[in-house]
Structure 1
Amino acid sequence: AKAEDFLRFRGSRIDCRLKEKVAGSRHLCGILRDCLLGEGPGIVVIEVDGERRSIPRDLILKAHLVYEEEP
């Protein structure tokens, strides 16, 4: 996914597959909080179960939005 996509969909629920384990898992599902750009690939911040995790963008193999039905 492009950095611009991560910036555009901040606040959305996403599902990510990672190249390597982060916090014991290669799969993360949570709220996309931010994409920090700078030198290198950048950092994607995902909130999982109330805990924010910073993931290097180059570790993300696949990311997609998770649509939730409104009650």
Structure 2
Amino acid sequence: MAEVKAQMAGTVFEVSVKEGDSVTKGQTLIILESMKMEIPHEAEADGTVAKITVAEGDFVEENDILVELA
């Protein structure tokens, strides 16, 4: 199981996938907003979205798990 973690603290601006979706390496999964910048978080490998642990509007800390890929 691969985990996509927040690169910095911020607010979840957009969740681009849903559980069960197939994703490819480099595909944007979540966009965080921090310091008025949008930071995309991408899949590091092909897989399936097993679990999304955040929702749009949630505040996350650096290294919080955003998405789990199977």
TM-score of Structure 1 vs Structure 2, range by shorter chain? 0.3 to 0.5
TM-score, structure 1 as length reference: 0.38
The higher radius of gyration belongs to 1
Kindly indicate whether structure 1 or structure 2 has the higher relative contact order, using CA contacts under 8 Å at least 6 residues apart. Answer: 2
